[in-house]
């Protein structure tokens, strides 16, 4: 059974990122409910409403030398609502929106599988669907990321669990689409390290 982790979308601006500080740290971000409002299976610009403060937070992460990396379960692909090509086109658009606002993302990892609702080969028990840590581990290997020194930002217990299983020490939970408390904690975290 093919359960290999999908090739991530890598931001066109990724390569010039400073490598001297490798191994680098990351700000891992869940997508729906953290970056965009979770309307359910969002995959078009028209359905995208940004979570207030997200561009500032990602810019702040970049300024701290953290690579902003999205890790997102995409059951919409598994269910056949949209395909991987649609998802990659949408992701390229999303990355461009962040670049335009001087808060570039580094990469987007996604899981197209679902254990029950998946169609065809996408119906499987994979190693990437959160709370499995596969996407974070793959990102760490490819982008030379120090997981213990990294931060996970998510809005579900499964995000926190994936991070913990991957060895990410700091997890920040976003509730009700309100980034404000998280931004405060993230600033404090930056001062400690
Ligand atoms: Mg979410
Ligand atoms: Zn998967």
Q: Out of 11, 30, 155, 159, which one is annotated catalytic? A: 30
pLDDT above 70: residue 1: no
Longest dimension (CA), the chain: 48
Q: Dihedral, CA atoms, 66, 165, 3, 173, nearest 10 degrees?
A: -60
Q: Are 98 and 105 in contact (CB under 8 A)?
A: yes
Q: What is the mean pLDDT of the chain?
A: 93
Position 108 confidence tier, pLDDT thresholds 50, 70, 90: very high
Distance from residue 20's CA to the centre of ligand 1 (Å)? 32
Q: Per CATH, which fold does 21-172 belong to?
A: Rossmann fold (3.40.50)
pLDDT tens by residue, 150-177 = 999 999 999 999 999 999 999 999 999 9
Position 23 confidence tier, pLDDT thresholds 50, 70, 90: confident
pLDDT tens by residue, 41-89 = 999 999 999 999 999 999 999 999 899 999 999 999 999 999 999 999 9
Distance from residue 65's CA to the centre of ligand 1 (Å)? 24
Is 86 catalytic? The answer is no
What angle, 0 to 180 degrees and rounded to 10, lies between the N-to-C axes of helices 54-63 and 180-192?
Answer: 10
Distance from residue 77's CA to the centre of ligand 2 (Å)? 11
Print burial letters for 89-106: b (CB count within 10 Å at least 16), e (below 16).
Answer: ebbeebbebbeeeebbbb
Q: Dihedral, CA atoms, 167, 168, 169, 173, nearest 10 degrees?
A: -130
pLDDT at site 18? 58
Is 38 catalytic? The answer is no
């Amino acid at each position: 059974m093919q359960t290999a982790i999908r090739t991530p979308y890598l931001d066109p601006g990724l390569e010039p990122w400073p490598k001297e500080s490798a191994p680098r740290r990351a700000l891992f971000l869940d997508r729906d409910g953290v970056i965009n409002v979770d309307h359910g299976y969002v995959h078009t610009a028209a359905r995208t409403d940004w979570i207030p403060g997200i561009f500032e937070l990602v810019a702040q992460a970049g300024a701290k030398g953290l690579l902003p990396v999205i890790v997102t379960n995409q059951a919409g692909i598994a269910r056949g609502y949209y395909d991987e090509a649609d998802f990659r086109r949408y992701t390229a658009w999303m990355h461009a929106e962040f670049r335009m606002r001087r808060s570039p993302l580094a990469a987007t990892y996604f899981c197209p599988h679902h254990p029950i609702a998946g169609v065809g080969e996408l119906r499987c028990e994979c190693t990437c669907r959160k709370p499995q840590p596969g996407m974070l581990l793959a990102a760490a290997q490819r982008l030379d990321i120090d997981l213990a020194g990294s931060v996970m930002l998510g809005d579900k217990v499964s995000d926190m669990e994936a991070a913990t299983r991957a060895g990410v020490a700091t997890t920040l939970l976003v509730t009700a689409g309100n980034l404000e408390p998280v931004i405060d904690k993230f600033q404090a975290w930056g001062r400690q390290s």
